[in-house]
Amino acid sequence: MKNSKFLSFLMILASSLLFVQCTSDPLEGPPGRDGIDGIDGVDGIDGIDAATASCVSCHSSSFREPIIAAYETSFHSKGLTEGAVNYAGARSSCAQCHSDEGFVDYITKGFVNPAGYYGLTEPELVLVTNDNGTPDDPSDDFEEPELDSRGLPIYSNNPVPFVTSVTCTTCHDTHQSFDFENDGNDLALRALDPVSLITDGTVIDYGDGSNTCINCHQPRRTGPTDDGAGMFRVTSTHWGPHHGPQATLLEGIQGVLIAGMEAYPGVGSAEHRTGSTCVSCHMGETTDGTDGLHTMIPSATSCIACHSNGIPPDTFLDADMATLAGLLETIGIVEEDHPVPGTYTIQEAEAAWNYLLILEDGSKGVHNPKYAKALIKNSIEVLQ
C-alpha cells in the first residue's frame, strides 16, 4: 500500500516537471527585431460647399435646357445650313467645320481624316472622270481641287456620310482648370488658343472664347493672283473666300486692296474689333428669347450696350453691292451670287473676290463698315 502511494507521488512529480518544461524556456533566445513605426495617414482635403454649388449652377437640367432649346434654333445645330452635314460634313476638305467628328479631330489631333467620314453601301467606288476643262490632266479631277489637294473624287456610286451635326460636345469638352477664382471659368471650351489662319498662318487672338469661332469663321483661300499676263482663271463655282470670312473682315485683312478714291482703314482698327468680341455681340443677353446666347444671333440688348443713341442700319452698303453685282454679272464672272468658271482679267477677278468676301461674311459689312465700304466702292471704280 505504501509502495502504491509512493509510486503515485513520483508520477505526479514527473508530470509537474513536464508541465514546467512545456510552458517555459530556461534558455534565453536571440533578441527580436525592433518593430517599425507606422506612417501617419494624410488628411483628406476638406470639401467646399461653394465649389459644389458652382458645378451644379451649370451642370443641371434647369440651367442646360434653355441653352439646348436656343442652340437648336441656330444654324450651327443644322450643320450651318440644311443638308450641309450630309454634303460637306463627311468630306475631308469640309468636315473641319461642318461636322462634330471633323471639328473634334481637327482641334484634338490637328487634322481631319484624309479619307473623310464615310460608310460604304457598295464594295467598290467607281471614279467618274471630271476633267474640269483640262481633259489631258487628271490631277484636277476632283470637286473643288483648289480647296484641298486631297479633294474628294467624284464617284458614280456615292459613299454614305457617317457624321453628326455640330453639338454641345463639339465645342465643349472638359475644363482646363477648376480654379475658377484665379484662372477664370473656361466654360470647358476645346479651342481657346490663338488661331493661325489656314491661308497664310496669320495669328489672331480675340480671347474670351471668341477664338473658338475663328477656327471656322475664316477664308479657305486667298485672293486672286496675276498669272503674269494680267489674267486669272476661276476654276470652280465655289471659288472665293468661302462661307465664313468673318474673322478676316473683322480684322481688316485678306480683301484685295484695289486702288481707288475710298481710303482703307488700318488693320485691326474696326470698332467691332477693338470694342467688342464675337461672344459679346453674338452671345450676349437675349432681347426676347429668339436672339443672343446660344442662338448666336446678335441681339439688340448687346448692340445698345455700345450704340446707346440707336442701332445703325445695316443697309448702308446695299446700293453699292447691287451696283457691283450688276457689273460682275455683265462681265460674266458672277451669276446669281456664284462665280462662273473661266479666265478673266486680274481686275475683274479682284473685284469679284471683294464682292464675294462681303457677301459671304453675312453681316452686310457691319463687322467692319469702313473696310467693307472701301473694298466695294474701289471695286466698282476699277470696273467702270
Number of Cβ within 10 Å of residue 121's Cβ equals 9
Question: Would you state the pLDDT for residue 196?
Answer: 95
- The number of folded domains in the chain is 1
The pLDDT of residue 134 is above 80: no
In a domain, 74, yes or no: yes
List the domain range (segments joined by +) for residue 116.
65-190
For 257, the grid coordinates are 486692296
Question: Would you state the pLDDT for residue 38?
Answer: 59
Number of Cβ within 10 Å of residue 238's Cβ equals 16
Question: Would you state the pLDDT for residue 216?
Answer: 94
The pLDDT of residue 321 is above 90: yes
pLDDT 10s digits, 222-243? 999 999 999 999 999 989 998 8
In a domain, 35, yes or no: no
Amino acid at 38: G
In a domain, 73, yes or no: yes
Q: What is the DSSP letter of 253?
A: -
The pLDDT of residue 54 is above 80: no
CB 250, CB 367: distance < 8 Å = yes
Question: Would you state the pLDDT for residue 358?
Answer: 98
What mean pLDDT value characterizes the chain?
82
Question: Given pLDDT bands bounded at 50, 70 and 90, which one contains residue 76?
Answer: confident
CB 224, CB 232: distance < 8 Å = yes
pLDDT 10s digits, 80-119? 555 566 678 888 888 899 889 899 999 998 888 887 887 7
The pLDDT of residue 21 is above 50: no
**355 closest CA partner among 331, 332, 339:** 339
In a domain, 330, yes or no: no
Number of Cβ within 10 Å of residue 137's Cβ equals 10
Percent of the residues in the chain that have a pLDDT greater than 70, as a whole number: 74
d(CA 375, CA 351): 8
In a domain, 60, yes or no: no
In a domain, 160, yes or no: yes
For 225, the grid coordinates are 493672283
In a domain, 303, yes or no: no
The pLDDT of residue 156 is above 60: no
The pLDDT of residue 246 is above 70: yes
For 205, the grid coordinates are 487672338
Which secondary structure element, helix H or strand E, spans residue 233, and what is its range? strand 231-234
Residue 227 in 3-state DSSP? coil
pLDDT 10s digits, 344-358? 999 999 999 999 999
Question: Would you state the pLDDT for residue 299?
Answer: 87
The pLDDT of residue 304 is above 80: yes
Question: Would you state the pLDDT for residue 148?
Answer: 44
What does each C-alpha distance from 69 to 56, 61, 163, 288 come to in angstroms? 19, 12, 22, 14
In a domain, 115, yes or no: yes
pLDDT 10s digits, 260-293? 999 999 999 998 988 888 999 999 999 888 999 9
